[in-house]
């Protein structure tokens, strides 16, 4: 067992860190306040090969693994989580096309993502079906060679920016198996009947676009189904496993940001005649953040490495996602506490870290859902 990064992994981490420092730092506060993002940053990330590094080289990716994607996620999130999400999610869902799509679909959709010319999103969640994804009710009804899509989705990352979405829709309502009723269908967002509205006022990751979406008799060719009809739930779970570990890596990055910001502050801020760093109650918080972050990182590396070896362990992925979500929230809380009243102000970066942290516990499966997965597998 070797705990060292390879030279290539070290280079990726260094390049990602430099990119994020160069592109995110100056703009992060403004994009957070304005709830906006500049797509040219995403394009520059694409030029440097950061978009879809897990995609095959045939489609413009780097042919690397989930592990390298986790390195990227940590490095970007350590600088700013909102900008990291906005920069890296334009390829969110491409894993499904690469794994289950036809060669024609892969060649049509993937290269434009890795080059930064197109943005995609992944529309699974509905107003009445979040954690209970199998209850999603949007329908795709066959008419000749077409599918007619109706229904709505909510909280869709890149909903108003995307050129196309992969959508989780009911195609086989009469199938007795609850997990065999849905399919994944590609929907281009310029099709008549498609509507997306930006959701404003998020607590955190405000640079990232989140939208509610409606499909009103949206017609797509039947050939837009990705993979086998009725296999949508399994395809969504495949995506979740890859992405959950990347989200856990975001939590590690966020904890690192909390640590870096706290160390700077406690060395500078004086109280009772000494810097805060001189007091053990402060030192314990610094040590706790480091320890929690390192524990989370080891869980991420372990689970990601297994995925890349083709030996995915759902329990480890779920445990890492649950741990890193709670860990990120706790570390952000300790960091803000060490900043005292200043941490409560928008002009202090730690306030944004604190607000951004919570999403790690919610998207791609809440902490509770991840714990249910872990417990079920232990109790089976
Ligand atoms: C900023 C943001 C971006 C997102 N991006 C996307 C995206 O790109 N695509 C997409 O499809 N979705 C996206 N989501 C949706 C996200 O995945 C869901 O919000 C999440 O899965 C939870 O679903 P829900 O909000 O419906 O909560 P609910 O399912 O209503 O859950 C509410 C609470 O009840 C708990 N709960 C639910 N069931 C159980 C149970 N059986 N036992 C115990 N507790 C339970 C949950 O853990 C949670 O605490 C995004 C959400 C946000 C906020």
Residues 192 and 247 in one domain: no
Residues 192 and 109 in one domain: no
Residues 65 and 178 in one domain: no
* Ligand 1 site, CB within 6 A: 121-125, 130-131, 155-157, 202, 205, 210, 359, 362-366, 368-369
Q: What is the mean pLDDT of the chain?
A: 97
Beta-ladder partners of 305 = none
Assess whether pLDDT exceeds 90 at residue 366: yes
Instruction: Please check whether residue 97 lies inside any domain of the structure.
Output: no
60 CA from centroid of ligand 1 (Å): 32
pLDDT value of residue 1: 79
Instruction: State pLDDT tens for residues 201-250.
Output: 999 999 999 999 999 999 999 999 999 999 999 999 999 999 999 999 99
Assess whether pLDDT exceeds 90 at residue 330: yes
22 CA from centroid of ligand 1 (Å): 33
The arithmetic mean of pLDDT across residues 149-171, rounded, is 98
Residues 282 and 207 in one domain: no
Residue of the nearest CA to atom 4 in ligand 1?
155
Contacts for 299 with CB less than 8 Å, ≥ 6 apart: 248, 316, 319, 320, 323, 324
List the CATH number of the domain containing 348.
1.20.140.10
| Alpha-carbon span 246 to 300, nearest angstrom | 8
Residues 74 and 206 in one domain: no
Instruction: Please check whether residue 58 lies inside any domain of the structure.
Output: yes
371 CA from centroid of ligand 1 (Å): 14
47 DSSP assignment: H
Instruction: Please check whether residue 355 lies inside any domain of the structure.
Output: yes
Instruction: State pLDDT tens for residues 268-317.
Output: 999 999 999 999 999 999 999 999 999 999 999 999 999 999 999 999 99
List the CATH number of the domain containing 11.
1.10.540.10
Q: Of the listed 95, 126, 364, 370, which one is catalytic?
A: 364
Residues 225 and 147 in one domain: yes
Instruction: Please check whether residue 1 lies inside any domain of the structure.
Output: no
What are the residue ranges of helices labelled H in the chain?
Answer: 7-24, 28-34, 39-47, 66-79, 81-88, 94-100, 103-114, 232-268, 280-308, 314-339, 349-357, 367-379
Instruction: Please check whether residue 264 lies inside any domain of the structure.
Output: yes
Residues 203 and 183 in one domain: yes
Assess whether pLDDT exceeds 90 at residue 56: yes
Residues 130 and 222 in one domain: yes
Angle at 364 between CA 105 and CA 96, to 5 degrees: 15
256 CA from centroid of ligand 1 (Å): 25
**Boundaries of domain holding 353:** 236-379
Assess whether pLDDT exceeds 90 at residue 127: yes
Instruction: State pLDDT tens for residues 28-41.
Output: 999 999 999 999 99
pLDDT value of residue 2: 86
Residues 159 and 226 in one domain: yes
Instruction: Please check whether residue 2 lies inside any domain of the structure.
Output: no
Residues 18 and 80 in one domain: yes
pLDDT value of residue 66: 97
Residues 288 and 336 in one domain: yes
Instruction: Please check whether residue 190 lies inside any domain of the structure.
Output: yes
Residues 225 and 144 in one domain: yes
Nearest atom in ligand 1 to the alpha carbon of residue 92 is: 8
Instruction: Please check whether residue 261 lies inside any domain of the structure.
Output: yes
Q: How many domains does the chain have?
A: 3
């Amino acid at each position: 067992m070797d705990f060292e990064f390879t030279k290539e992994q070290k280079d990726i981490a260094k390049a990602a860190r430099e990119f994020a420092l160069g592109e995110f730092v100056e703009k992060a506060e403004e994009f957070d306040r304005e709830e906006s993002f500049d797509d040219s940053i995403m394009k520059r990330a694409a030029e440097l090969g950061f978009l879809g590094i897990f995609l095959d080289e045939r489609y413009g990716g780097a042919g690397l693994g989930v592990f390298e994607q986790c390195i990227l996620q940590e490095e970007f999130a350590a600088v700013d989580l909102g900008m990291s999400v906005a920069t890296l999610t334009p390829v969110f869902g491409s894993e499904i096309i690469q794994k289950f799509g036809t060669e024609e679909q892969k060649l049509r959709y993937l290269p434009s993502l890795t080059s930064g010319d197109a943005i995609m999103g992944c529309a699974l969640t509905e107003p009445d079906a979040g954690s209970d994804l199998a209850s999603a009710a949007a329908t795709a009804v066959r008419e000749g060679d077409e599918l007619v899509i109706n229904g709505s989705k909510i909280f869709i990352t890149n909903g108003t920016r995307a050129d196309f979405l992969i959508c989780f829709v009911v195609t086989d309502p009469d199938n007795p198996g609850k997990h065999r009723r849905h399919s994944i269908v590609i929907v281009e967002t310029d099709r008549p009947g498609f509507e997306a509205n930006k959701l404003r006022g998020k607590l955190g990751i405000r640079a990232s676009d989140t939208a509610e979406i409606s499909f009103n008799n949206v017609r797509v060719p039947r050939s837009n189904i990705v993979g086998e009809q009725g296999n949508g739930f399994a395809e969504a779970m495949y995506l979740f496993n890859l992405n959950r570990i990347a989200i856990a890596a975001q939590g590690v990055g966020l904890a690192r940001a909390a640590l870096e910001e706290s160390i700077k502050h406690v060395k500078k801020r004086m109280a009772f005649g000494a810097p805060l760093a001189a007091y053990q109650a402060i030192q314990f918080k610094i040590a706790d953040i480091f320890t929690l972050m390192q524990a989370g990182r080891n869980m991420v590396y372990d689970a990601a490495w297994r995925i890349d070896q083709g030996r995915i362990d759902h329990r480890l992925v779920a445990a890492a996602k649950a741990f890193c979500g709670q860990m990120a929230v706790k570390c952000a809380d300790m960091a803000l506490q060490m900043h005292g009243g200043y941490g409560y102000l928008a002009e202090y970066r730690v306030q944004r870290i604190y607000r951004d942290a919570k999403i790690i516990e919610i998207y791609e499966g809440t902490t509770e859902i991840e714990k249910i997965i872990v417990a079920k597998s232990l109790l089976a």
